Chains A and B, each alone.
Chain A
Amino acid sequence: MNKNDIINVFQQVLENPSNSFIEQWISDGGKVMGYYCSLIPPEIFTAAGITPYRIRAAGSDSTDLADVYVSSQLCTFVRHMLNLALGGQFDFLSGIVAMNGCDQARRAYDIWEKKTDIPFKTIISVPRTPANYNIEWFKEELKKLIKAIENHFSVKITPQSLAEAIKFHNTTRRKLAQFNDLRKEPDPPINGYEASIVNIAAQIMPLKDFNDLIDKLLQAVGKEKRTGRYRTRLIVSGGEMDEPEFVKIIEDQGGLVVYEDTCFGARYYEEPVSEEEDPLNSIANRYFYRIPCARMGNSFDRRYENLEKIYREFKAEGIISQILVHCILNSGFSFQLKRKAKTSEISTLLLDRECRMKGYGQMKTRVQAFIESIESKARKEDKYNGRTSK
């Protein structure tokens, strides 16, 4: 299989709520646990022998069913996801685990809880401040989750099964990090569209299948021609972004996306879980102390520091902070980013978008203008010659 064949397989995985790998797993007697938010540790499901599945708004083209319960004042990610749930398209799940990520996701869980027939449903409470004195709480929540899964599915989650699950997930993380690190190269063998397809696929198919395929992909990319033409290198930042098509729009304008600082992007594969200590402690530590997202209080400085580091490592020239319309938390992050941009060298574009959006006209124009501004800045600074340009 060459690179494009493998990417095509992953692309098919993304098209609809279910996919052939998940279907095969289920027909072999396997169970699937849906979860939303990258602060929920899928290692726990894997340790129970259940395939983790990150809920997203795949293939949804309407919010009619969701609109009966929630208003159009909620973000389209939540509304599309709910619409699929109410239409029975997540009925292949054996359970879902939610968390108090944001108000809208919490309200969505009310509807999942009351209006869907998924057999196992629970919500955990993840602290909103990563202060040392709160980690015990988080550990207790994870223990509660483990108990609930054990009781419902009649399984035992042991320290040993957790340790194995950690290794398994870390393997995937390492492979994804290796794969995404290719994007640091001046002329990377993969573009952002392809990378984001692969990153998302890892979260919605059995890990073993994914690991086999990404091994093949890593071999294939070495033999492939380079992507070549781009005008600038960009980081996409923000919250839920489960649409490679969005990245493609940016790349169609000439902005190569080298990193997704998003929930479906790097927040999934960055920062492995320690394999040295007590497994549950290690899991709690990784999720609790990791680079924070916008739902965490007092988090902006650490996140921005990380963004600057990535910016340098991936030789980016601009950041696009994409916000789903109505997302309060990520709009708060963008507000801070905009304030920071006044004194920073980093070019920043704040871009509102809708999940499963159809028309991209205005967005294209804004991205084009942003790329032009970066180019003209580079020209002024005489850095333009160094890049691979059209």
Chain B
Amino acid sequence: MAEPVNEIPKEFAEIFAGISRIYKENKNNPDARPFISWITVIKGLLEKDLSGIPIIYTNLGNSPELVLALGDSEGEVAPFGFEAIGATQGFFGSNQCNMDIIDLIEANGLSADVCSADKLALGYMLKKLLPPPVGGVFINTPCDSQIVAAEGFKSIMEVEPFIIDVPYSVGEKELHYVAKQLREQIKYLEQVTGKKLNWDRLKAICEENNRMVELLLEWSDWRKRTPCPQMSKVVTFGFVLLNTLSGTPMGTWYASELLEDAKERALAGKKAVLGEENVRAIWFGDPIWWNLPFYDWMEEELGMVIPMDLFGYVTAEAYIDTSSPDTILYTFARKLTRVMPMSRQLTGSAEMYIDDIISVYNQFNADCVIFPGNTGCKHMWGLLGLVREALRELDIPLLAFEFDLFDPRTKSEEDFKEDFRRFVNDIIIPRKNR
């Protein structure tokens, strides 16, 4: 793979260099097929030439279908999931670069308490490293950091954002309310891009989304098998997939790669862990984006696998009903609020999160739950007590810890390892041997 390292800022050169290095390290590893596919997808995204194309920023809780449908042919407007930049740097590039950006934005007055996904996004904007947008569509889920990001976007990029309001809880009435706002959002998008939304193309894009969803649901079923046939770390890409690639052939292709790999491995009797599968854990919060190899360590040293996490969990509510423009908007609203990772679990009362955790725990035949408390995530920190209580009642072991999803300075790799070793060896294994 060629690296256009010299033409791009050093921050992005780090990402390309990392992608090439990781690609080389993994390309001959038969266990790494879904990971290699993911690298291919990300590289494709990063190398896309956006010059001359109006760019619309979309935030964490969003999905790109409406933006993709602007104009009469494909690619007239480009959606840009700007918060994914920190994750891409964390996955493939340099943690030091992310840390420098975090320091920069904090030095400019943004509180350390804002979710680091948004600290990074605003920091990259401040450093003028992101492409200039003509507009930005925001949704106020999953959390308050989205409002801060929208305000920051407006003042740094000097572009008026459009914000969808999602109410406290989500039922039918709420979905109609969100759908009504989506109609307003379309007007905004048409105005800032000068392109009309093409409903026929939107229908086709939503059907593409539905193909991807179908593949993901089937994939998820294969991961329910014991032992889990496929590596842990790929589940977490589900979030970027939904947020960035929904409705695109590339998204569908990646979902098919995930499925084929899981199916083939399961049928061949292969498993994710190196030795015995000792522990199946549901990871229900942010991943350690800055240290994905940690998941490999868990599999190798502890025989611990994550069959599903909060970012990879998709339900059938992600299907978009393409019968009419009204059904498209209504079911797209449902996808945004009832499927997008974090938004689904953190909208409404604590039950939304707790019920999901218990359901995923049961569906994936798990032994325990991991509660990763991202420092900036006030939802998670406000939920911990009730989650602990609910799981204790069901006798489900829980490992909770504080960390930062992009910043290794909050909790080091060694501290993580020590916590996990103790949890598995002192709590889970003895319970299983009872």
B147 touches A74 (CB 8 A): no
How far, in whole Å, are A134 and B373 apart by their CA atoms in the complex? 33
Which residue of B147, B155, B384 contacts A128 across the interface (Cβ within 8 Å)?
B147
B contact residues around A111 at 8 Å (CB): 385-386
Residue of A nearest to B348 (CB): A106
Q: List B contacts of A123 (CB < 8 A).
A: 168
Contact status of A128 and B375, CB under 8 A, knowing A107-B383, A110-B386: no
Shortest CB–CB separation between residue B307 and chain A, in angstroms?
27
Q: How many A-B residue pairs have CB under 8 A?
A: 157
* B149-163, CB < 8 A from A: 150-152, 154-155, 160-161, 163
Chain A residues with Cβ below 8 Å from B165 are: 127-129, 131, 134, 137, 297
Q: Are B382 and A335 in contact (CB under 8 A)?
A: no
B349 touches A103 (CB 8 A): no
Residues in B with CB closer than 8 Å to A99 are 168
Asked whether, in the complex, the Cβ of B382 is within 8 Å of the Cβ of A332, the reply is: no
Binary contact track A106-150/B, C-beta < 8 Å → 1, others 0 = 111111011000000001110111010110010000000000000
A298's contact among B154, B350, B383, B386, by CB below 8 Å, is which? B154
A319 smallest CB distance to B (angstroms): 14
- Assess the A110–B163 pair: CB atoms within 8 A: no
> Which A residues are in CB contact (< 8 Å) with B113?
73, 325-328, 331
B31 at the interface (CB under 8 A from A): no
Q: Hey, which chain A residues are within 8 Å of B150, CB to CB?
A: 297-298
A299 close to B109 (CB less than 8 A): no
Q: How far is the CB of B333 from chain A (nearest CB, A)?
A: 13
The answer to the question of A69 belonging to the interface, with a C-beta cut-off of 8 Å to chain B, is yes
Q: Which of B137-145, B236-244, B263-271, B311-319 touches A?
A: B137-145
Q: A110-B386, A329-B144 are in contact. Are A125 and B151 (CB under 8 A)?
A: no
A298–B110 CB distance below 8 A: no
Q: Does B278 contact A (CB under 8 A)?
A: no
The answer to whether B349 and A113 touch across the interface, beta carbons within 8 angstroms, is yes
Chain A binder among B85-93, B127-135, B176-184: B176-184
Contact B379 A107 (CB under 8 A): yes
- Please tell me if the beta carbons of A300 and B155 are within 8 angstroms of each other in the complex: yes
Nearest B residue (CB) for A78 = B382
Chain B minimum-CB-distance residue to A300:
B151
Q: Which residue of B lies closest to A114 (CB)?
A: B386
Contact between chains at A103 and B382 (CB < 8 Å): yes
CA distance A332 to B108 in the complex (A): 11
Does A295 have its Cβ within 8 Å of any Cβ on chain B?
Answer: yes
Contact with B along A298-341 (1 / 0, CB 8 A): 11100000000000000000000001011111011111111100
B385–A69 touching, CB < 8 Å: yes
The answer to whether B381 touches A71 (Cβ under 8 A) is: yes
State whether A70 touches B382 (Cβ < 8 A): yes
Contact of A328 with B163 in the complex, beta carbons under 8 Å: no
B378 at the interface (CB under 8 A from A): yes
Q: Please give, as numbers and ranges, the residues of chain A lying within 8 Å of B164 by CB-CB distance.
A: 129
The reply to whether A73 and B373 form a contact with Cβ atoms under 8 Å apart is yes
* B152–A129 CB distance below 8 A: no
Q: In the docked arrangement, what's the CA distance between A385 and B196, Å?
A: 62
**Contact code string B187-227 (vs A, CB < 8 Å = 1, else 0):** 00000000000000000000000000000000000000000
Query: Is A68's CB within 8 Å of the partner chain B?
Result: yes
Determine whether the beta carbon of A110 is less than 8 Å from that of B148. Answer: no
Q: Mark B300-330, 1 if CB is under 8 A from A, else 0.
A: 0000000000000000000000000000000
Q: Is A70's CB under 8 angstroms from B385's CB?
A: yes
Q: B114 at interface (Cβ–Cβ under 8 A)?
A: yes
A71 and B168 in contact (CB under 8 A), knowing A298-B160, A332-B151?
no
Q: Are B151 and A331 in contact (CB under 8 A)?
A: no
A100 within 8 A of B: yes
B109 touches A339 (CB 8 A): yes
Name B101-127 residues within 8 Å CB distance of A: 108-111, 113-115
Q: In the complex, what residues of A have CB within 8 A of residue B384's CB?
A: 69-71
Q: With A69-B384, A332-B114 given, is the CB distance from A350 to B109 under 8 Å?
A: yes
Complex alpha-carbon distance, A296 and B154, angstroms: 14
In this complex, what residue of A is CB-closest to B354?
Answer: A110
Contact with B along A93-107 (1 / 0, CB 8 A): 000000110111011
Instruction: Tell me how far the C-beta of B238 lies from the nearest C-beta in chain A, rounded to whole angstroms.
Output: 23
- Is B109 a contact of A103 with CB atoms below 8 Å? no
Instruction: Name the distance in Å between B55's Cβ and chain A's nearest Cβ.
Output: 19
A216 to chain B, nearest CB (A): 42
Query: Are B108's CB and A338's CB within 8 A?
Result: yes
In the complex, what residues of A have CB within 8 A of residue B167's CB?
A: 100, 125, 127, 137
- Are the CB atoms of A133 and B161 closer together than 8 Å? no
| Whole-angstrom distance between the Cβ of A331 and the nearest chain B Cβ | 3
Chain A residues numbered 192-225 whose CB sits less than 8 Å from any CB in chain B: none
B147 nearest CB neighbor, chain A only: A297
Chain B residue nearest to A352 (CB atoms) is B111
For the complex of A and B, list the 3 residue pairs with the smallest distance between their C-beta atoms, beginning with the closest: A107-B382, A69-B385, A331-B111
Known: A103-B378, A297-B161, A298-B151. 7 other contacts (CB 8 A): A73-B378, A74-B382, A100-B167, A134-B165, A327-B111, A329-B147, A338-B109
A-B contact pairs, 9 of them (CB 8 A): A73-B381, A99-B168, A111-B386, A123-B168, A297-B163, A298-B150, A298-B161, A332-B110, A335-B109
Where the two chains meet, the residues of B that have a C-beta atom closer than 8 Å to any C-beta of A are 108-111, 113-115, 138, 140, 143-145, 147-148, 150-152, 154-155, 160-161, 163-165, 167-169, 177, 180-181, 184, 346, 349-350, 373, 375-376, 378-379, 381-386, 402
